[in-house]
Every structure is written in structure tokens, then in C-alpha cells.
Amino acid sequence: MTKPLLILLGPTAVGKTDISILSAKVLEGEIISADSMQVYKYMDIGTAKPTLEEMNGVKHHLIDIVYPDEEFSVAVFRNLAGDCIDNILLKDKLPIVSGGTGLYINSLSHNLDFTHIISDQEYRDSLQKLAEQYGNPYIHNMLKEVDIESFNRLHENDTRRIIRALEVFKHTGNTITKFQNESKNKAIDFELCMIGLTMDRHKLYDRINLRVDKMIKNGLIEEVEKLLNMGYSNNLTSMQGLGYKEIVSYLSGEYSLDGAVELLKQNTRHFAKRQLTWFRREERIHWINLDNFKTMDDAVKNITDYVAGKFNLI
């Protein structure tokens, strides 16, 4: 018997947090975060984590579960999310995955499994040294020679995934893209309902700019300073996330504050564009244009009515 699973996705700043919480109240669900940054402790403002008050009594999972210097991968996410889904269903509640990390969502919707692929820390370290010595574009171009699709998909600064793709090819002779494509043909464990949130691009970009300004006002600079003072290196994967690497650049004197803030806004807008490009390839997504509704409550009613019909909850 397949397990019902609602996946609520969309670009950053589109309103996933508020809508997922309101939808969970109506549908009697619990939320599983599919955000690769919200897993980290102490990183609250820059990741736009919902506060306890904003959660409004809805239980959230996979937030604040690892320290900033701990490894966290899509395979770990898939295993933890699977356990959360089972536990939520045992309580006769609806599991709702909400987030914008495409690979995390794909691990559930396509049953991705990289656990059989060899792990080679020595090779990873050698690639990291090459990136540090010659710059990120160097290893990005190495990927171009063996996996053009991953090369086109991954930004040159996404060194962790570039290294992973090169590692997969080194030990299997096949591209990570091939494994991902093959996984799409495997049966999945869930009866899926995938809802995508979107809005006018210019309106989304305005929301992104306002969100960044709010983060600065709420203490993002102080949050990054605290992390650095706690001993967390700016070279960590977690500290390379949006909002953290830009503020580190300001604190190190590479940028003025205005320059770092503008860079963060620009990088976040580019990230949102890449998210939309990623999600648009998924044909199972039912898209909801939030511009078509006068209020958020109207949008939530449309979403919850659709989901209730899909899962025969009416």
C-alpha cells in the first residue's frame, strides 16, 4: 500500500513556509523540511527558519539536526525523511515535505539512492585542493569533460556537488546524471501530490530583496560573527550557503556592507531562477500561481481542496 505524501515546493521567498504551515493546519499534517541549510544548528536568520511562533503548533522535522561542521548528504536526508514519513503516517497525519532543495525533493519523488556508490575521501580531498589552488572553474571544467549535463546544471561554485559528480564517474565509469535518470524509472514508495508555488518573476525578486533587508535588520551579520567566533570555518559547506558567504566577505573586508548586501540579493535572485528551471522539468507538479489569489487564505483553500481530492480526504 503506497503512502500519501504531499510535496510543497517552489523558489526561495515565494511563501512556502507560511503556506505549508497553514495547509498543515487544514490537512492535519506535519512538515518535513527539504532545505539543505535549515538542517544546521545556530544558522537561523540566513536560512529563514520558521520560529516556534511562526510554526503555529505544527510539528516540523529535519530542522536543527546537525552542527555546521558536520557532513549532511542527500542520502542521509532520504533515510531520515523516510523515517519521518512513516512516523507521521502512524499518527494518522499527512506528511508534508516543504522546501526548495531540488535534489532532496528528487530523492523522494524519484527514489534516488547513492548508497551503493564508493566513497573516496582521498580523491575528494585532492579535488578540493585543486579548487583551492587553481580556482573553482578548474574542477568545474574537469566535470565538463566527463558529464556535460552536470556541468551545465551545477554552478562553478557548487564545489561539493561537482566533486561528488567527479567521484561517481571515477569509480563507476558512469555519470551521476545517468544514475539520476535511471532512478526515475524505479517505482517509488509514495502516492505523490506535488504542488509548485510560483508568482510573477519581478514580484518574486522584490520579495527576495525585502527578505535580505529583513535578514540584515534581524541580525544576520551578528549571526555570522557568532559562528566564526565559535570556531566554524568559512570554508565549511554550511558557511558557503547563501547569506553566509556574502557576509563573511564583508567581515573579511572584501566587500563593503552595501556591496555584500547587493551581492546577496543578486545571488539569491539567481538561485531562485535556477530552482524554477530545476522544478520545471518535473511533469508531475501541479503549479499554483499565487498572483491569481487575492489573499493567502484563498491560495491555501485552493491548495488544500486539491490535495484533499487527490488523496480522497474529503
CA distance 63 to 253: 32
pTM of the entire structure? 0.81
Residue in 210, 180, 231, 152 with CA at minimum distance from that of residue 74: 180
pLDDT at 16 over 60: yes
Architecture in CATH of 121-182? Orthogonal Bundle (1.10)
Q: What is the pLDDT of residue 313?
A: 77
Q: How crowded is residue 161: how many other Cβ atoms within 10 Å of its Cβ?
A: 16
Stretch(es) of the chain classified as CATH 1.10.20.140: 121-182
Would you identify the CATH topology of the domain 3-111+187-310?
A: Rossmann fold (3.40.50)
- Nine-digit cell at 294? 487575492
59-68, 105-114, 181-190, 235-244: range with highest mean pLDDT? 59-68
Stretch(es) of the chain classified as CATH 3.40.50.300: 3-111+187-310
CA–CA distances in Å: residue 36 to residues 40, 44, 71, 116, 305? 8, 13, 11, 22, 29
Residues with Cβ within 8 Å of 138's Cβ and at least 6 positions away in sequence, in order, are 130, 131
3-state secondary structure 180-249: HHHHCCCCCCEEEEEEEEECCHHHHHHHHHHHHHHHHHHCHHHHHHHHHHCCCCCCCCHHHCCCCHHHHH
For 157-181, write each residue's pLDDT tens digit.
Answer: 999 999 999 988 887 788 888 877 7
Residue owning grid cell 549571526: 223
